[in-house]
Amino acid sequence: MGTGVPSGMTTAMTDADLLTLTQWLSPAFPVGSFAYSHGLEQAIDAGAVRDAEALFIWLSNILDRGTGRSDAVLLCAAQKRSVSVEALSDLARALCSSRERWEETRAQGAAFTEAFNALNDFSHDPAPLPVAVGHAASLLHLAPERVATLYLHAFASNLVSCAVRFMPLGQNAGQRVLARLHPLIEAVGAEAATTRPEAIRVSTPGADLGAMQHETMDVRIFKT
């Protein structure tokens, strides 16, 4: 039996939604992600991240065992309309290991929501960044793992950009680091789509301590 839907309409809708998501995750979207280093500035300043290999390892840990994974799980859960955005927001707050980590997700989430509402004439309430993006993405015809993968890529790309600006790391070297992260980004995105929020487990003590120490740095380029 025919569906009554013209051939190619679903694909065209998905492509349009993909462009919308790409816009939301673009550096041009007024979230201000360029101002946040997620503690990477402190790690570079302390000498813990001093070359491309160290940057790759640091980012891999963040994506696999830290905020990258927890954000991806929260984002996927927020795409389910049956899940409470308020409850996910509370969990996102609880997962923040320091004041700066909380400020980073709170401020970017609020900025994202403000821009999203203005662009679409909606009235979503502010929420931590992964919850805000996931809640908005529930309106798109995209698989949660696809949204999570592109979100993680934008997250990693921003941190690579931070490293290029703050340490002696060329643009090409930074792009090679990002390319090496692609398999991990895909894996974490896929796993996040099948992980319940209450099952989130994170363990990046070095990065967490670095984020706390960043608060007391005498000279800082980034907010976190």
Tell me if 35 sits within 8 A of 119, measured CB to CB: no
Report the distance separating Cα 30 and Cα 82, nearest Å. Answer: 29
List, in order of start, the domains of the chain with CATH numbers: 37-214 (1.10.4190.10)
* pLDDT at site 207: 78
pLDDT in tens, 18-38: 999 999 999 999 998 988 888
* pLDDT at site 212: 79
Report the distance separating Cα 190 and Cα 144, nearest Å. Answer: 8
* pLDDT at site 153: 98
Tell me if 33 sits within 8 A of 27, measured CB to CB: yes
* pLDDT at site 167: 87
Q: Which tokens is 93 given?
A: 């707050």
* pLDDT at site 13: 61
Residue listed under structure tokens 């997620």: 38
Tell me if 204 sits within 8 A of 66, measured CB to CB: yes
Report the distance separating Cα 179 and Cα 166, nearest Å. Answer: 20
3-state SS of the chain: helix, strand, coil percent to 5?
70, 0, 30
* pLDDT at site 7: 39
* pLDDT at site 204: 82
CB atoms within 10 A of CB 219: 6
Q: Which tokens is 131 given?
A: 């919850």
pLDDT in tens, 157-170: 999 999 999 888 89
* pLDDT at site 8: 43
* pLDDT at site 83: 87
Residue 218, phi then psi, degrees to nearest 5: -70, -40
* pLDDT at site 9: 37
How much is the pTM? 0.91
* pLDDT at site 37: 85
Burial environment of residue 54 by CB neighbours within 10 A (0 to 12, 13 to 18, 19 or more): middle
* pLDDT at site 4: 39
* pLDDT at site 203: 81
Which segments of the chain have a pLDDT < 50? Answer: 1-10
* Nearest by Cα to 25 from 105, 133, 118: 133
Q: Side-chain half-sphere of 49: how many Cα atoms within 13 Å? A: 29
